[in-house]
Structure 1
Amino acid sequence: MSRKKKTAPEWTGFQEAKPYGPTYDLRTDFVMVYGITDDMPERIEGWKKAGYTVHLMTGVSWGEYQDYLYGRYDGRNHWDEAQMDRNGGHLLHNEDVPYMVPTLSFAGYLSSHIKRAIDAGIEAIHMEEPEFWAVSGYSDAFKREWLNYYGEEWCPPHATHDAQYRASKLKAAMYYRAMDRICSEMKEYSLTTYGRTVRFYIPTHSLINYTQWRIISPEALFATMPACDGFIAQIWTGTSRTPNVYQGVRRERTFETAYLEYGMMQELTRGTGREMWFLHDPIEDNPAHTWADYEQNYLATVTASLLHPGVSQYEVCPWPHRVFEGRYPKEDGDGKEKIPSRYATQLLTIMHMLGEMHQYDAAQQDLSSTSGIGLCLANSAMYQRGTVDIPGEEPEFSSRYDGTESDEAMGSEERKLLDWSPFYGMALPLLKNGIPLRPLQYDNILNFPGYLDDYRVLLLSYEFMKPEHPGIHQVIGQWVREGGVLIYIGDGGDPYHQVREWWNRESKRGAYNRPEEHLFESLGLGRNPEEGVHSVEAGAIILHRKDPASSLAETSEGAQLVIDSVRQALMIRDEADDFKGNRILEIQRGPYRIVHVLDEAPLVNSDSSVVLEGSFIQLFDASLPVRKRVELKPNDNALLYDLSFLSENSIQPRILATSSRIRNEEHSERSYAWISESPEGITVSTRLWVPHPPLHVYVDQAAINFEYDEDTSTVFLNYPGSPQGNCFKLAWE
């Protein structure tokens, strides 16, 4: 069931804290005005005058909330609600901007600000980044919450694994409570006061990133929250370049990590009726990189996102002012420079292409790929990321990581924890060999019927996460009995098996030592089946008694074990021929062909180039060249407009690719006219198909030069952009 109640399309948008500016007017469907400040009404009005549907975005865990902190809001100082680490230090986003403990008092304060936005006529509100650091849990406010939630005195999270797990679970519950209260109360306020519905969205990092960076957020809980209308998947270079380990090699793998992150967020909302926008960022929060570095990683994340056809809405840029007005280091290290004109044009081409993506159903993923393979990931993975002191050993570090710290600033143990090898040890071997693995939201299995229908093989381990409800095993058991194959990897060595949870509570059947015992028993295999293959009616379970971190991520043999297990699973299903390694991951979405060439792939020759033949427009090139042959090296990305998509019966001109917003198209027997809108200072590139060679092209009634490609019947135009719009007319007689 659709939850959308919109007055205009909202396929693409961006967030901006500054007032309207023509140099970063991206001409998308909507804009998210950031922050509830005194000048908020003026900023809203400025963007409305520019023709935008206006949303509001504001921080949930941090923001310019000094009036609350220092008692100007209600007469009480609230610094005791700032997140605190074990050393008594506040966790700060900026000076005087701490990450907050989401108390009921703080939720009420945020609601008072949200009312102002609703009063100003906002149609939708984005409550950004409800985040609780794993290293926190030591403030007085959190201690009070612990007592109220658990009915017992607070225990330092670093004292035991049970305390760490319970602290993290409480953090997620607190943010769910705060968000549910704010969104529900404000929806009621809007209806009773103005008779209109206001939508609430949650911009959040992926479960993969939050777990890797050691942050706790409700994630899957929000997918069941009635007042939540959807999400923005905050995935960008800063999250996806976080290093991981594959076959013992630790390095950045931006494409692969982004692919898994976007896939995780696609699966968060699949079948829930909630919306999802994928975010892209042409730069990142770390200002120390060059434009070349930003571009390479941006193209990797865009390509990764487009390979997930379940989402066709995009936040095309956060903070466009810092992209189009900011300065970043030059390649030679001599000073800083603004965005290269070529890259600016390229960005706008991609952004406007994203606005077209919803028109096309995705074609079947490349037939040489192995589909229907899932890797289970639960919210509880976040609960196991805090450090715990071990008696007789030095206390572990208590620092946090937000994507801007260098490896040199971290110790070896901190880097090892950041790698999060149990997950990547299971994920990367498949992805690196061209198998479009999908991480799935394990918690959704119980909440949304039919969630597993698209899967034929699942990989699962409880060595880095736990099932939060035994009912999940009943669904998994039914899926296996009907023909699914479950690959379980775990040696039972995770100390978090001993936390106080449902599986080790006494019942009629007695307590279980580990949650996997309940899973196996649910499958009719007893609590501790031997390693190997076990048939379960039409399906099976493949059991490996191994630690997924040390056994899979560190060696090529471990990676091969994952590959061989999936191949074996498909053989059990009599689908052995479906297992095929591939050099590329690709998909066709309407005329758009999206391709990534893999590296580090042992099943295939990963050193040679891949050649695509046909007739294409290269959209990752500002000049939009037409190519019959596209050669891609390992780790290259391509976004191509496939000209074979054009119908032989086409008779009307059409714009195929452009770095501007196109409005008011008019066709006549001898001409084609349109209005082109783009940020001020941008050089616009446009390539269009025409039925006849044109004689003239006019912009604002002045003739301009153009290039005509006879082989493809396409015209290329290059001209200065304007947010007010340029009027074009192309005539061929």
Structure 2
Amino acid sequence: MKKNIKLYLVILSICFQACSQNSGEGQEKTLVRKEKTAFQTSNPWKSVTDVRADVAIVYSIKDHHKKGNMTFEDRVQSWRDRGYNTHFMTGIAWGEYQDYFTGKWDGKMHLDEGQVTQKGDTIWHGKMIPYIVPSMNFIDYIKETVIKRVIDAGIDAIYLEEPEFWARAGYSEAFKREWKDYYGFDWRAQHESAENTYLANKLKYHLYYRALDECFTFAKEYGKSKGMEVRCYVPTHSLVNYSQWKIVSPEASLASMPAMDGYIAQVWTGTSREPNFFDGKEKERVFETAFLEYGSMESMTAPTGRKMYFLTDPIEDWPRDWVDYKKNYQATFVAQLLYPMIADYEVMPWPDRIYEGLYRTSADTDHKEQIPRFYSTQMQVMINTLNDMPLSDNKVNGTQGIGVLMANSLMFQRYPTHEGYDDPQLSNFYGQALPLLKRGIPVKTVHLENASYSKTWEDINILLMSYSNMKPADEASHTHVANWVKKGGILVYTGRDDDPFQSVQEWWNTNGKDFEAPSEHLFQLLGIDPPYLAGEYKVGKGRVSIIRKDPKEFVLEKGKDEEYIKLINNLHKNTLNKGNIVLKNHFVLQRGAYDIVSVLDENSDTSPFILKGTLIDLFDPEIPVLNEKSVKPGQQAFLFNIDRVKDKQKAQVLVTAARVEQERRNKNKYEFVAKSPLNTNNVMRVLIPKSPEDVKITNHQGMNVNANTSWDDKSKTYFIGFENDPEGVNVSITW
């Protein structure tokens, strides 16, 4: 027996050592650990940025010689020492790769591999940091100098972010070389014709798909040689944003790349505040744009099963004021939560600039301060809910099953304009989506690249489609769309089909096909005869409605979307037999104990939405308990509903501006440790059976911590507020 115990202890010791960090070799723990929340930083651990998410994504392999000769490996270890999972991120289209461009790596200058405009100007991301035409030589550089070093440091998750090729670029010698290799004929200037533009953007798309495929395949193979399973992710803006900002990127096609494991949806105030048109007005519509951006990311991966992190940012890249940041953060934060099948989050990028940056205190002053305590407290309450935000089968209230079709080629037609055809602010997309969204219909997006997946078509009853701003990459996708219609789907095709990209040399007008527009090929598969006039057509068990207007016409002028809405309503009511579409001014979703609300402006209904119950207001840094919450048009709300807590006799922290760890409970006592960044306030509401008799709050040295406390008898919650400490504040409550 003693021998067996000794053997057991030896085995246990070996297992423990295998699961522990080997700081000498920089190996990360091999235990499977929670990776629900993350943030990215280029700096080492600091007490003022100790966000307490699950993952610290360490950015860039650059050694910080100005910060005590701290190497990349040192930065990684500084986060590991504080209990974080460590991942790695760097740019694939730009980065601190000066040693490549200046010839230090291979003895050759590569500044000619920057992205160049028609005027001959290189597009720069920073000093000696051009946006890159990703040649195979550059890809080899990334493999050798970046990916190897990261994996050697024991990191098993790599993020290559923002594969971006500007639409206005495409004139460099490097691009001309890639053109000749790809097409087999000499480069053509994209500004000279729509066809040249289309060809240029297909090549840009291919180059970054190739770059990611090569790098990720190498990472997985090299990882296996080291006994590691390396995961590969792409942090990227949405297809909506890249199309609007005139950037080309692989986007949806990556979801089927064998070596790609998932995305970070880079949606935040900076992307979502890009103006769009609705009802004849061009303006920022941050919530609505964010809702469509997150939706396009969610639908991109839902059929393929890839992991998706949703990102929000409490500030943005552009310097503004704290009031502006707070308002728009709330809008984007609520938009992401309205997708209940996504529950992994990048809670913030760049905590250093959020906690230590100086920004204006209001729009009408130049006075700058670090983040106000009220905002940092609210923000930390919000991000700590994400550690426990549940997946949910609940749906946003409203008419379900209406989707807008998207394709990667939305990015191909944005720049330059040809033959006078313009699509201001991506209005051919927003013209399909905003008339519905603004009337309280939670419209979905559907990716043409995912048409072959059966899951793509789940829960879609009406598909809104146009080729005014995009074109199909292949004819196979039309077969899937046609089959869906024949089985009972309703297709609403909107477009004049007269933009100059309809006639580019592509599959629908080559190799024996002579369709004047790609839609004609689809209509033929659906059994619709020329001249494809406006009207309704019965197709199998389904229906096709053709509208001979471009979708932009619904939003560029006031009141021009009413017939469009009437048509969709008639199809929903009379063809689907599902009744009238529900027109309203709000979106509401329940996720576990959380209530998520957004009330729309620019709606005929100007009444507030009112929730009742025992509610904690998570947008208020005092986290008050309310009996009722009124949300006005243009506002959002995020609430914790105590009435939906399942076990009210279980002592538990309901909401907090800190990460709660080391919980211990017995019959009449509840203890835990709270950790959050230095120089911030913690507020929390603790559910306990009755008013406490004794409360002890101490720091990690056992010294008493000053705290504000109060008891709310109706909700049976105890409010505690104190100064945060990344080393931990110990709380003991006895009742």
TM-score, normalising length: structure 2: 0.92
Structure 2 residue runs of 5 or longer lacking an equivalent are 1-29, 64-70
Shift of 1:565: 2.3
Q: 1:578 to 1:694 in 2, by over 3 A?
A: farther
The structure 2 residue matched to 1:208, chosen from 240, 243, 247, is 240
Residues in 2 aligned to 1:594 and 1:418: alpha-carbon distance in whole angstroms: 32
8 Å Cα contact 2:654-2:685 kept in structure 1: yes
8 Å Cα contact 1:697-1:705 kept in structure 2: no
Shift of 1:388: 4.5
8 Å Cα contact 2:423-2:469 kept in structure 1: no
Residues in 2 aligned to 1:543 and 1:142: alpha-carbon distance in whole angstroms: 40
Q: 1:545 to 1:252 in 2, by over 3 A?
A: same
Provide runs of 4+ in structure 1 moved above 3 Å: 701-705
State the secondary structure of the residue aligned to 1:384.
coil
Q: 1:471 to 1:129 in 2, by over 3 A?
A: same
Deviations 1:535-588 (A, max 9, x none): 112110111001222x21123442213311221221243434251111211110
Residues in 2 aligned to 1:672 and 1:506: alpha-carbon distance in whole angstroms: 74
What pairs with 1:368-407 in structure 2 (closer than 5 Å)?
369-388=398-417
Q: 1:554 to 1:417 in 2, by over 3 A?
A: closer
Residue 13 of structure 1 aligns with which residue?
Answer: 38
Deviations 1:14-69 (A, max 9, x none): 00011111101100000100001122111001010111000010010001111110
8 Å Cα contact 2:590-2:596 kept in structure 1: yes
What pairs with 1:469-508 in structure 2 (closer than 5 Å)?
469-507=474-512
Residues in 1 aligned to 2:215 and 2:31: alpha-carbon distance in whole angstroms: 21
8 Å Cα contact 1:517-1:528 kept in structure 2: no
The structure 2 residue matched to 1:353, chosen from 357, 377, 385, is 385
TM-score, normalising length: structure 1: 0.93
Shift of 1:592: 0.5
Deviations 1:160-181 (A, max 9, x none): 0000011000001111111101
Q: Percent identity?
A: 41
Shift of 1:494: 1.0
Aligned residues: 692
Residue 185 of structure 2 aligns with which residue?
Answer: 152
By relative contact order (CA 8 Å, sep 6+), the higher-ranking structure is 1
Residues in 1 aligned to 2:662 and 2:501: alpha-carbon distance in whole angstroms: 61
Residue 10 of structure 2 aligns with which residue?
Answer: none
Residue 626 of structure 2 aligns with which residue?
Answer: 627
Shift of 1:481: 1.2
Deviations 1:606-629 (A, max 9, x none): 2x3222222211111111111111
Establish whether residue 281 from structure 1 lines up as the match of residue 321 from structure 2: no
Q: 1:582 to 1:560 in 2, by over 3 A?
A: same
Residue 67 of structure 2 aligns with which residue?
Answer: none
Residues in 1 aligned to 2:530 and 2:369: alpha-carbon distance in whole angstroms: 63
Q: 1:389 to 1:561 in 2, by over 3 A?
A: closer
Deviations 1:354-403 (A, max 9, x none): 11113x4242332xx1001100010011011120465xx9xxxxxxxxxx
Deviations 1:49-105 (A, max 9, x none): 111000010010001111110111101110111000000000001121100001100
8 Å Cα contact 2:573-2:580 kept in structure 1: no
Q: 1:527 to 1:81 in 2, by over 3 A?
A: farther
The structure 2 residue matched to 1:328, chosen from 349, 355, 359, is 359
State the secondary structure of the residue aligned to 2:455.
coil
Establish whether residue 450 from structure 1 lines up as the match of residue 455 from structure 2: yes
Residue 680 of structure 2 aligns with which residue?
Answer: 682
8 Å Cα contact 1:22-1:679 kept in structure 2: yes
Amino acid of the structure 2 residue aligned with 1:601: N
Establish whether residue 175 from structure 1 lines up as the match of residue 208 from structure 2: yes
The structure 2 residue matched to 1:537, chosen from 537, 540, 550, is 540
8 Å Cα contact 1:230-1:274 kept in structure 2: yes
8 Å Cα contact 1:32-1:55 kept in structure 2: yes
Residue 223 of structure 2 aligns with which residue?
Answer: 190
Shift of 1:335: 2.1
Residues in 1 aligned to 2:188 and 2:576: alpha-carbon distance in whole angstroms: 52
Residue 308 of structure 1 aligns with which residue?
Answer: 339
Shift of 1:211: 0.3
Amino acid of the structure 2 residue aligned with 1:225: M
Shift of 1:159: 0.8
Establish whether residue 127 from structure 1 lines up as the match of residue 160 from structure 2: yes
Residue 669 of structure 1 aligns with which residue?
Answer: 667
Residue 239 of structure 1 aligns with which residue?
Answer: 271
Residues in 1 aligned to 2:228 and 2:295: alpha-carbon distance in whole angstroms: 34
State the secondary structure of the residue aligned to 1:63.
coil
8 Å Cα contact 1:206-1:264 kept in structure 2: yes
Residue 710 of structure 2 aligns with which residue?
Answer: 707
Residue 612 of structure 1 aligns with which residue?
Answer: 611
Residue 439 of structure 1 aligns with which residue?
Answer: 445
The structure 2 residue matched to 1:115, chosen from 148, 151, 156, is 148
The structure 1 residue matched to 2:132, chosen from 89, 100, 120, is 100
Residue 723 of structure 2 aligns with which residue?
Answer: 720
Residue 575 of structure 1 aligns with which residue?
Answer: 577
Residue 398 of structure 1 aligns with which residue?
Answer: none
8 Å Cα contact 2:118-2:168 kept in structure 1: yes
Deviations 1:97-133 (A, max 9, x none): 1000011001001111110111111120100101000
Residues in 2 aligned to 1:532 and 1:378: alpha-carbon distance in whole angstroms: 25
State the secondary structure of the residue aligned to 1:300.
helix
Establish whether residue 420 from structure 1 lines up as the match of residue 426 from structure 2: yes
Residue 601 of structure 2 aligns with which residue?
Answer: 599
Shift of 1:185: 1.0
When structure 1 is superposed on structure 2, of 137-146 and 701-710 the one drifting more is 701-710
Amino acid of the structure 2 residue aligned with 1:387: P
When structure 1 is superposed on structure 2, of 206-215 and 478-487 the one drifting more is 478-487
Shift of 1:6: 7.4
Q: 1:620 to 1:454 in 2, by over 3 A?
A: same
The structure 1 residue matched to 2:95, chosen from 50, 63, 66, is 63
Residue 589 of structure 1 aligns with which residue?
Answer: 591
Structure 1 residue runs of 5 or longer lacking an equivalent are 394-412
Residues in 1 aligned to 2:96 and 2:499: alpha-carbon distance in whole angstroms: 40
8 Å Cα contact 1:678-1:722 kept in structure 2: yes
Establish whether residue 166 from structure 1 lines up as the match of residue 199 from structure 2: yes
Residue 650 of structure 2 aligns with which residue?
Answer: 652
State the secondary structure of the residue aligned to 2:695.
strand
8 Å Cα contact 1:697-1:706 kept in structure 2: no
The structure 1 residue matched to 2:555, chosen from 553, 556, 563, is 553
